[in-house]
Structure 1
């Protein structure tokens, strides 16, 4: 076994460990909802898996000011976890799909809040206007800034199935531009459990990431929510989500080929609204899927980077 960084007994590099290394203590995310839509919805289309909430978790009242949202969440998290450092996460829909002057003001408000050490912007690879890069660089000089791109797949075939409305080439372009023009951390979201997804496809995805200026990854299992195009396929017998055991095999294979120096934000998705989850049932569980995967890795003496080659 090579000498990889100290992951506190974990077989992979968790983002929490990265934050501790960066800030000297545990850091918590405050999720806020400010974006009203995304370019795909504006075209009266929708990603095959996306519900009306645009990937949002529990949202505070929309009429609340951003400042109020941050303070209420900060107080709640601090009381529960004794947290003292926070990142404001602009999560639902596409945060850069609004007027840059509005986004600029929202970032300023966020960074002015007590105990906020940085921001995280969730967006699409095809929604990065030229003027966003100097804006991000300016804030990057003041605080920690990360942009999370909904890449989802490095296969154009899979992106077409997902009806993402962007290509692999656009994702690669967005990753390079963010790295070169703004200097911010670049995170990507990836989906597994896609139709006809081969082991080779998963290995190639990890190897592609290893060659790119990517600072962290977040993994999701493709699951079915009500009132989505994916539900229609599921009801028609044209799509079946993978069970936990199969998904775990995919994640472990991916991690074994992923660079040990790339933090992992999450191993699987958790349904934020149980009443809207159609399948699979295990997506309702927060801890069991992760515990299952970690046990499998421990039993096999597997770890992130096991088969990594520079």
Structure 2
């Protein structure tokens, strides 16, 4: 049994985005991350200054990329993964990628979908920064045959926690925009963080239940990790903040995966940060140890959808 587990991978247990796209497009489809040089209302003073307490986007994206045009970025990223894929999703990842005038958004998104071998677009943003105009713009790409994903950073459905981490919105904003987007046929991928201050498995499971009840097409799970420059860094150094161990995270994430309906696609089951930016937990530097541990757990206790609510 141990030998069998060693060679099993995440798609053997989870409905991953990679497996889903390959099934529908007949080959591997790779996400190409883009930097649209967007800001965020929770950093520029519109809502607040300093951003969410966990956030330092420099730890997750290459700021130097924003100096290139979208077309240049796509060519660069495509060249990096050409040996693995020939079809791509253009992924606007950094900051709030709907936070701009609609004319600018239209120009940036159009550059992305017009590039060679792009089959769709993914847009990462906040639930309170998606207007009807933005939804109409995104749905226009659907009508042209492109894959469209709206990635919403919810993190948790607990309004008290959202306030504590200075998120700047509540669950109601997420619920409203999710229903609007899915009514237009736009797929919604929701980002959730495990390990936020004062939260436990019961909070994670309540969040998942509420997200599934509203309706969701994809999920991304992230362990809370402390990075340099984030407001949480001070709490960590003052011993006022604890992070999850690899084992704690793996067990909690697997329980959520097992409670997730099979038609929901997992875009990510964990996350990493560069060691130069990462303060804690240090296991977040590498991707494979946590994925391997999750596979081991699911091999003996059940895969996605095996323990539904």
Q: Does residue 149 in structure 1 map to residue 157 in structure 2?
A: no
Spell out structure 1 runs of 4+ moving beyond 4 A: none
Tell me the alpha carbon deviations over residues 20-72 of structure 1, each in whole angstroms, 9 at most, x when there is no partner. 1222211001101013311100112310011152x643355432221111111
Q: 1:46 to 1:17 in 2, by over 3 A?
A: same
Counterpart residue number, 2:175: 172
**Structure 2 length as normaliser, TM-score?**
0.92
Q: 1:52 to 1:189 in 2, by over 3 A?
A: closer
Question: How far apart are 1:211 and its partner, in Å?
Answer: 1.8
Q: 1:177 to 1:35 in 2, by over 3 A?
A: farther
Q: 1:176 to 1:105 in 2, by over 3 A?
A: same
Alpha-carbon RMSD across the aligned residues, in angstroms, is 1.7
Bigger shift: residues 247-256 or 205-214: 205-214
Counterpart residue number, 1:294: 295
Bigger shift: residues 253-262 or 146-155: 253-262
Instruction: Show structure 2 runs of 5+ residues with no match.
Output: 1-8
Bigger shift: residues 149-158 or 205-214: 205-214
Q: Does residue 113 in structure 1 map to residue 118 in structure 2?
A: no
Tell me the alpha carbon deviations over residues 213-272 of structure 1, each in whole angstroms, 9 at most, x when there is no partner. 21100000000001211001111111011111111111011112111211111111110x
Give the conservation status (yes or no) of the 8 Å contact 2:33–2:90.
yes
**Partner Cα distance (2:66, 2:140) in 1:** 28
Q: Does residue 304 in structure 1 map to residue 304 in structure 2?
A: yes
Instruction: Show structure 1 runs of 5+ residues with no match.
Output: 1-6
Tell me the alpha carbon deviations over residues 78-97 of structure 1, each in whole angstroms, 9 at most, x when there is no partner. 03x2x110000000000100
**Partner Cα distance (1:52, 1:303) in 2:** 32
Bigger shift: residues 190-199 or 223-232: 190-199
SS in 1 for 2:232: helix
1:153-232 correspondence runs (5 A): 153-180=156-183, 182-232=184-234
Matched positions, count:
297
Give the conservation status (yes or no) of the 8 Å contact 1:206–1:255.
no
1:1-310 correspondence runs (5 A): 10-43=12-45, 44-53=49-58, 56-79=60-83, 81=84, 83-142=85-144, 143-180=146-183, 182-271=184-273, 273-298=274-299, 300-309=300-309
**Partner Cα distance (1:194, 1:148) in 2:** 20
**Structure 1 length as normaliser, TM-score?**
0.91
**Partner Cα distance (2:200, 2:193) in 1:** 13
**Partner Cα distance (2:113, 2:136) in 1:** 17
Q: 1:37 to 1:9 in 2, by over 3 A?
A: closer
SS in 1 for 2:199: coil
Give the conservation status (yes or no) of the 8 Å contact 2:151–2:188.
yes
Question: How far apart are 1:210 and its partner, in Å?
Answer: 2.4
**Partner Cα distance (2:64, 2:121) in 1:** 18
**Partner Cα distance (1:9, 1:146) in 2:** 20
